[in-house]
Amino acid sequence: MSIRIGIYGYGNLGRGVEAAIRQNEDMELVCVFTRRPPETLTVRSEGVPVYHINKAAEMKDKIDVLILCGGSATDLPVQTPEMARLFNVIDSFDTHARIPQHLANVDAAAKEGGNVALISVGWDPGMFSLNRLYMGAVLPEGKDYTFWGKGVSQGHSDAIRRVDGVLDGKQYTIPVPEALDAVRSGSEPTLTTREKHTRVCYVVAEDGADKAKIEKEIKEMPNYFADYDTTVNFITMDELKRDHSGIPHGGFVIRSGKTGFDKENTHIIEYSLKLDSNPEFTASVIVAYARAAYRMACDGLTGCKTVFDVAPVYLSPDSREDLIKNLL
């Protein structure tokens, strides 16, 4: 029998989840929930109904895991606890500083409903967090570094678009190669924000806009750009659409550490991602963890869990015996 999945929210992430479910034979997409009038939304999977979110409670017994695909700023803090009372749920809540509070809220709701809720699943938080944990446990005397990119930052692209005279824009975060090399040498360098990443912007300006002023305003924007070496390139709308419509991302988690009676040996562990589509990869991680959420619920567990709490064996469709035989 398939694991019955519901999608709650049909943006980039929801569409990625829809595609990922097709790659997992033990799963089946039951329906998509939307805040829009459902008749205005057509999903790509044939025969999958679209319901308004206010019908979610009615689907309680027809869905094994509900995948929440809203945003971390305002959607998930409300939706995840609300839905965790009704369903096993999974979200990609990614505001790192607010994870403990979100976890507490979701845990209470999931326990009330007797469900499993998996939060902050994706690649950072998610696979990167896991690697920070594994690396740190294995090499306790050392230092780890996380680099992001090359990739599109949605938040920074939005910030560019709010500048006066800007029609559209995209921002790429890029790790500094020399910083990566220094970390890989095992020297445990101290790196400033500016030394770790550069930011490159592609901006479409309004006709007759003051480009020098736009460039200055972007480069000096506090929190977003002021602490970085930023490059601003002005391009046409056609160029933006042709060359910058993808949502690639990726990054690196690297730890170096010492072992030996006199700490005479150095080890480097590196994990990296190079992703054509940030939302589709995030969705793929979420779908594997949806399987885990379902299995943990079948085992009688309840409450809010994170990737740290999930034994790897829960993630694969293969049996434990096959995994041990083929992958160990």
- Residue numbers at the binding site for a copy of itself (CB under 8 A): 16, 18-20, 22-24, 44, 96, 99-100, 103, 120, 125, 127, 129-134, 136-141, 184, 259-261, 264-277, 280-281, 283-285, 288, 291, 306-313, 315-317, 320-321, 323-325, 327-328
CB of 152 to a copy of itself, least distance (A): 14
Residue 115, token pair as written in the block = 């469900």
Distance in Å from the first CA to the final CA of the chain? 27
CB of 192 to a copy of itself, least distance (A): 20
CB of 77 to a copy of itself, least distance (A): 16
Distance CA 13, CA 5 (A): 14
Q: Classify 43 in phi/psi space as left (phi over 0), alpha (psi -120 to 50) or beta.
A: beta
Strand partners, 232: 201
Residue 245, token pair as written in the block = 């419509």
> Would you say 179 or 315 has its CB closer to a copy of itself?
315
Task: Return the H-helix or E-strand segment holding 101.
Answer: helix 99-113
> Would you say 87 or 271 has its CB closer to a copy of itself?
271
The residue among 233, 212, 223 whose CA lies nearest residue 169 is: 233
> Would you say 216 or 325 has its CB closer to a copy of itself?
325
CB of 245 to a copy of itself, least distance (A): 13
> Would you say 141 or 207 has its CB closer to a copy of itself?
141
| Residues 121, 296 contacting (CB under 8 angstroms) | no
> Would you say 213 or 246 has its CB closer to a copy of itself?
246
| Residues 272, 84 contacting (CB under 8 angstroms) | no
CB of 29 to a copy of itself, least distance (A): 12
Residue 95, token pair as written in the block = 């505001």
**Integer-rounded Cα radius of gyration of the chain:** 22
> Would you say 228 or 281 has its CB closer to a copy of itself?
281
Amino acid of residue 99: I
Backbone angles phi, psi at 5, to 5 degrees: -110, 140
CB of 58 to a copy of itself, least distance (A): 28
| Residues 125, 289 contacting (CB under 8 angstroms) | no
> Would you say 112 or 276 has its CB closer to a copy of itself?
276
CB of 104 to a copy of itself, least distance (A): 10
